[in-house]
Structure 1
């Protein structure tokens, strides 16, 4: 037998047992860790009038006993003369799972150079549960007390503004609907009720998978603040059109 044929036969015999150990339909087990990275175009109205780019990174570690989640959002825009929008949002939440629900601790931190409030820090804790949880539809409800720190934007009447500090009650609903295999819709509604101010925010997104882990995502965020500094608007909206990649 020629030496080449002998070598090929030997490799085949050695590889056969290893191939037999791995079924042809084998898939890696699901991971507890998931990450999303997205970037794209944005349109601002309200206190900021501009178009530019934005980015978002979300990390989730979900086990049988707990769920850790962190989201960082960045928005930046400029025109031919100056920067017109610069905003950063950091959201952190830790859930400890119980029978029928979970207790959570949460922190929301916003730095917004052109917003009605340039710094907004909120920490809260409470109880949440899944009102609906099946293959296609999920709805979680949360309620709990918290503390909010708001630093108003400077103006002629308040060149050195005093920060507002408030005890709040936070109410939240998180909804997710899978329309079909490649398309999903999410909507998060959060209300913060305090002695000095009240806010309502809606964060919606529509995601359509285009290839493997790549998806196109349209986002819409609106926040209403009841009391704002003089010269600023109560409602801010951000619309985004992003390309998203999922690691899992």
Structure 2
């Protein structure tokens, strides 16, 4: 009986034993999604701690890169809602590929940023921009992308006693951005986006920074800080808003 079993095992082709090699990895995917949620601490125009969530979708091919990010910030005390904010960011990039070496890592983009904030200095903020970007640094551990281009911004100030029916602030702007990613170790990384929108009527500067530590497989713990400075704000509002988050994030692709 033993001889029969041995003969059968030896007759099986070696390829059958190598269907899933020990070091097998899934092939890279063009689609990546991140979903996260957790605790939020607000300082600035709102003082509270509560829930936040974020979803990011990226479809990256050889010629195009499509990105979409949705953020939700919500908190309430025993009596009422104290913070409610929704952010939507969309960007479509066309990668340049030609004989000019200085354009090899460049891309042309169109972008839209939309915010609804019940308790912010501006309850509605919409920015549409186009421009050019390129990878100043791009290797296995570090990536730095720079962007610049013109745009249009629409701001609706919050109602105040001095201005119960405020007029919307409409402005032509120049948008610049620096997007930095760095792999600190095998399971940790640092990301920082710095964006400036300069207009004739108003200007803003936003820093969105986070530290991510992979716990196991596709799960990670993420600490984030978002700081936004607005040069001109309605009476009674603060120029700087800061949001600190502690989230559990799941990534799939």
Q: Aligning the two structures, in what range does the TM-score lie when normalised by the shorter sequence? A: over 0.9
Residues paired across the two proteins, number:
246
Matching residue of 1:61: 59
Equivalent runs, 1:230-245 vs 2, <5 Å: 230-245=235-250
Identify which of 195, 202, 221 aligns with 1:197: 202
2:134 aligned partner:
129
1:79 paired with 2:77, answer yes
Q: Does 1:246 align with 2:244?
A: no
After TM superposition, which residue ranges in structure 1, 4 or more long, deviate above 4 angstroms?
9-22
Selected match of 1:96 from 94, 97, 117 = 94
Correspondent of 1:149 among 144, 148, 154: 154
When normalised by structure 1's length, the TM-score is 0.93
Relative to structure 1, is the Cα distance of residues 13 and 104 closer, same or farther in structure 2, using a 3 angstrom cutoff? same
CA deviations on 1:136-156 (whole Å, 9 max, x unpaired) are 111000000000000000011
The 5 Å alignment of 1:1-248 reads: 18-98=16-96, 99-248=104-253
Q: Structure 2: how far apart are the matches of 1:13 and 1:79?
A: 71
Summarize the Cα distance change of 1:132–1:83 in structure 2 as closer, same or farther, 3 Å threshold: same
Q: Which ranges in structure 2 are unaligned for 5 or more consecutive residues?
A: 97-103
Kindly state the Cα deviation for residue 41 of structure 1 after the two structures are TM-superposed.
Answer: 0.3
Give 1:28 shift: 2.0
Task: Give SS of 1:216's match.
Answer: strand
* Distance in 1 of aligned mates of 2:31 and 2:62: 12
Report the alpha carbon displacement of residue 159 of structure 1 after superposing the two structures with TM. Answer: 1.1
Distance in 1 (alpha carbons) for counterparts of 2:243 and 2:20:
48
Shift of 1:22: 4.5
1:130-186, Cα deviation, whole Å (9 max, x unpaired): 000111111000000000000000011211111111000000000011000000001
- Could you give the per-residue CA deviations for residues 77-115 of structure 1, whole angstroms, max 9, x where no partner exists? 000111000000000001100123000000000000000
- Alpha-carbon separation, structure 1, partners of 2:119 and 2:22: 56
